[in-house]
Chain A
Amino acid sequence: QKEVEQDPGPLSVPEGAIVSLNCTYSNSAFQYFMWYRQYSRKGPELLMYTYSSGNKEDGRFTAQVDKSSKYISLFIRDSQPSDSATYLCAMSRPNYGGSQGNLIFGKGTKLSVKP
């Protein structure tokens, strides 16, 4: 079983829809959870960074972490065509690989928001 699982999609929604993106993980030692957005032929950019279980909101984006279920989600409200991108989840744990903070990424979900 991969440490981090993410449905690659593609996911296509109409403009204005609520989008739900998810990742599951197998290692309960993960403590830090991130969502990155990557536009085509660009580098990933950080959207959300959470440490604890619960919700974190930033504008139209909400990140949710459920450590008991080893499940994280990213919700996008009122989705826009400019949200069309690949969304990557990432997580890390202290002292992974001999040093703190090395990230394990999901494979990414490709989202398309149609006008």
Chain B
Amino acid sequence: DAGITQSPRHKVTETGTPVTLRCHQTENHRYMYWYRQDPGHGLRLIHYSYGVKDTDKGEVSDGYSVSRSKTEDFLLTLESATSSQTSVYFCAISAGGLDEQFFGPGTRLTVL
């Protein structure tokens, strides 16, 4: 998985609780992305980062925030989880904005 780890790999939580997912890379790539994957919708971009402390919204950013204080780490936070955020979350990295994106193994999140 191109030096990308995600933690936790599985999480079950309750509605209304905060959740933070972590993506860690060892490739020193500039760009990092968070996607969610749902049946019938495919992969959709939540947020992305184009450098330390530089982030922007993707297609489905409502209810999510991100932070990137170091090149290697990109955090995705659900401030107050809802059942609609039950999904598989993938982190991806790329060296440049138009370069290939490499994906992590995913985090399976269930919000009860």
Contacts and interface: CB of A to CB of B under 8 A. Distances in A.
Nearest to B43: A105
Interface of A: 6, 32, 34, 36, 41-46, 49, 88, 90, 92, 94, 97-103, 105-108
B58 interface: yes
B45 A103 contact: yes
B58 A97 contact: yes
Contacts of A34: 100
Interface of B: 1, 31, 33, 40-45, 48, 50, 56-59, 90, 94, 96-106
Contacts of B40: 107
B92 to A, nearest CB: 8
Contacts of B90: 43-44
Contacts of A100: 96-98
Contacts of A101: 31, 94, 96-99, 101
Given A99-B48, A99-B56, A106 B106 contact: no
Contacts of B45: 97, 102-103
22 contacts: A32-B98, A34-B100, A36-B103, A41-B106, A43-B90, A43-B104, A44-B43, A45-B103, A46-B101, A90-B43, A92-B98, A94-B98, A97-B45, A97-B56, A97-B59, A99-B97, A100-B96, A101-B98, A101-B99, A102-B45, A105-B43, A106-B42
Contacts of B96: 100-101
5 smallest beta-carbon distances between A and B, as pairs: A100-B97, A101-B97, A43-B103, A107-B42, A105-B43
Nearest to B41: A107
Nearest to B102: A46
